[in-house]
Chains A and B, each alone.
Chain A
């Protein structure tokens, strides 16, 4: 069972903003300072969107942003586009392991 909880699905209309929460369910997650987010389109490998809570790799759209409050990290996508329809995973490093959230399917209506 994942220590990181995400909603199974979210949806939004083009142009809207949505947020995907990722909540740590174990007390040993610690400061939750090293959350990252990945986007995965069907049949493709995951792609890094956000690292260390709120940093974007070069080439990732400014529409993607990350934040955290306590034991919950959030990915926000602004100005939704059809191409954003994908599965989004949060991830956290702890003690020589990586935990992934269960994934959130984003549907653009």
Chain B
């Protein structure tokens, strides 16, 4: 059974850092395209970052240079390192999987339950 479970959210001050984790089961992180998507309170969905099965990474302009996506195959876990956090980064962060048969990440077939990040002094 495919499962994604996020953790690591919490309250952080502006300018601070946080690392989110997404533990997956039922598939292998290194063989799949994975993403982080966020949702500010009461707002819509915003794509944040991709990591491809070849290790290539891509970021939304709003987080480029501040966030880093990575994975640990030994732990079968996806990460999102967030630095220089701003109030505008406050959101529920979801990890999501692209179907493994796709060569291009057109859509997400499984999502985690999300973890809340609050950036506030």
Query: In the complex, how many residues of chain A place their beta carbon closer than 8 angstroms to a beta carbon of chain B?
Result: 25
On whether the beta carbons of A89 and B45 are closer than 8 Å, the reply is: yes
> Nearest chain B CB to A94's CB is how many angstroms away?
10
Residues of chain B with a CB closer than 8 A to A51's CB: 106-107
Complex Cα gap A28–B50 (Å): 21
Query: In the complex, what residue of chain B is closest to A44 when comparing beta carbons?
Result: B113
The main secondary structure of chain A at its interface with chain B is strand
The main secondary structure of chain B at its interface with chain A is loop
**Contacting chain B: which of A11-19, A67-75, A76-84, A99-107?**
A99-107
Complex Cα gap A91–B106 (Å): 9
Residues of chain B with a CB closer than 8 A to A91's CB: 45, 107
Query: In the complex, what residue of chain A is closest to B112 when comparing beta carbons?
Result: A45
Complex Cα gap A57–B99 (Å): 11
On whether the beta carbons of A46 and B113 are closer than 8 Å, the reply is: no
Query: In the complex, what residue of chain A is closest to B44 when comparing beta carbons?
Result: A103
Which residues on A are within 8 Å of B, measured CB to CB?
2, 34, 36, 38, 40, 44-48, 51-52, 57, 87, 89, 91, 93, 96-103
